[in-house]
Amino acid sequence: MNKTKSRNVIFAILKYAVVLTLTFSMLIPFVWMLSASFKTNLEVFAFPIQWIPEVFHFENYSNIWVIANYPRMFFNTVKLTAIITGLQVLTSTLAAYAFSKIKFPERDLLFLLYLATMMVPYQVVMIPQFSIIRNMGLSNTHMALILIQAFTPMGVFLIKQFYDGIPNELIEAARIDGLNEFGIYSRIMLPLSKSAIVSLAILTITATWNDFLAPLIYISDSKLFTIQLGLRNLCSEYTAEYGQIMAASVMSVIPIFVLYCIFQRFFEEGMISGAVKG
């Protein structure tokens, strides 16, 4: 009896030790980043690490705010994220409704097409996509990023999965009651799928906010830079300003972290529903 008890205690200690160590190691780089963002260049690499700086150098933030033209980058990124997410949610929910709730002959075939292209990695289509955008005269515009990111099959797939779970009887009943298809979509399907929509929106927001490769390919003019591009650029230009670079990094992650703290449940649901894919 005692033996199992002590073994349980050891197991519990071990368990907490592992969980806490891992949690800490996940957190430490962020804490280091935050702490360094308030330090002078010399203090950043001082050892032993002083986690709480003696003097908080808030000027790192105000300097980088001006140098990198942060407000403009921030505006660009917010604008792109909002438009892409809006379009993605709108067109995905519409298309998913057709795939899930309207019977038409080519339905399975078309959906298979959507599914098949989901296997194709972005890196395969990025070259022809670039040619197309270029021929439309849209390279080096935000429009390019909007067009290539707002109509991905992934969103349709996620929402369709959810719609499939809504009983058809409900739709039939509504049709008999004289509601037209758009009415069913807007008054029944949308309200019922709120959580799926929020999950999709959050997935899209995070992906767009953090996207690097597509802006890297399309955006040349530094007036049109997104935060991620700007941050990378900062590291190669204002190279030796360690504190300021850390301040810029902090500012680039904070909006998503705030969103995460508010919508944690939907973040996780989005990830898991993404996991059903395939």
Partner 1 sequence: MKKKLVCLLMAAALALGMTACGGNGGNGGSDGDGGNSEANAANDDQVTLRLALWDWEVDGPSTYEPIIEAFEDQNPDIKIEVVSSPNADYETKLTTMLSGGDDIDLFFAKSNTALPGVQSKDFCMNLTPLFEENKYDLTPYGTVIEQQMTFDGGVYALPFRTNDWVLFYNKNIFDDAQMDYPSNDMTWEQVGELAKEISSKTDDGIYGYCFNPKVGFIFPALAGTEDGFDITTSDLSCMTKALDWILDLQESGAMEEYAESVSMSKDQTYFLKGEWAMMWNGSWFVQNLSNEEDLGFEWGVAKSPYWEGTEKNGFVTSTPLCINADTKHQEEAYRFLTFICGEEGAKILATTKLVPGYMNDGVLESYKANLSLDESSVEALTDNVTYSFGEPNPVFSQIISAGQKEMELVLTGNETPEEFVANFEAQRAELIKNAE
Partner 2 sequence: MSKTSVKNKKSTAIVRRNRRKAYLFLLPNFLGFIVFTLIPVAMALFYSFTNYDGNKKMDFVGLDNFIKLFSDSSFVISLQNTIIYTIVTVPLIIVLSLLISVLMNNGVKGAPVYRAIMLFPHIASIVAVTVVWQFLYNAKSGPINQILRSIGIANPPSWLSNQKTALLAVMIMIIWKGIGYYMITYLAGLRGIPKDQYEAATVDGANAWEKLIYVTVPNLRPVTFYATIMCIINSFQVFTPIYVMTKGGPGRATSVLVLKIYEDAFVNYKFGYASAEAMILFLLILVVTLIQFYHNKKLEA
User: Residue 129, interface with partner 2 (CB under 8 A)?
Assistant: yes
Burial of 83-95, coded b for 16+ CB within 10 Å and e otherwise, reads: bbbebbbeebbeb
Q: How many Å apart are CA 88 and CA 61, to the nearest integer?
A: 34
- Residue closer to partner 1 (CB basis): 115 or 217: 217
155-214 residues in contact with partner 2 (CB under 8 A) are 156, 181, 185, 206, 209-210, 212-213
Our finding on whether 151 is near partner 2 (CB under 8 A) is yes
**18, 22, 173, 235: which one contacts partner 1 (CB under 8 A)?**
235
Q: Is 129 in the site for partner 1 (CB under 8 A)?
A: no
Whole-angstrom Cα distance, residue 53 to residue 58? Answer: 11
CA gap 149, 214 in Å, rounded: 9
Of 9, 136, 254, 271, which lies in the binding site for partner 1, with binding defined by CB under 8 A? 136
Binding region for partner 1 (CB under 8 A) out of 14-22, 27-35, 49-57, 142-150: 142-150
Considering the complex, state which of residue 1 and residue 240 has its C-beta at the smaller distance from partner 1: 240
Burial of 114 (0-12, 13-18, 19+ CB in 10 A): middle
Nearer to partner 1, 117 or 222 (CB): 222
Query: Based on the number of CB atoms within 10 Å of its own CB, is 221 exposed (0-12), middle (13-18) or buried (19 or more)?
Result: exposed
**Among residues 245 and 266, whose Cβ is nearest to partner 1?**
245
Beta carbon of residue 100, minimum distance to partner 2 (angstroms, whole number): 10
Q: Which does 73 bind (CB under 5 to 8 A by kind): partner 2, partner 1, none?
A: none
Cβ within 8 Å of residue 56, ≥6 positions away: 38
Neighbour count for residue 39 (Cβ, 10 Å): 22
Residue 271 interacts with which of partner 2, partner 1, none, CB < 5 to 8 Å by class? partner 2
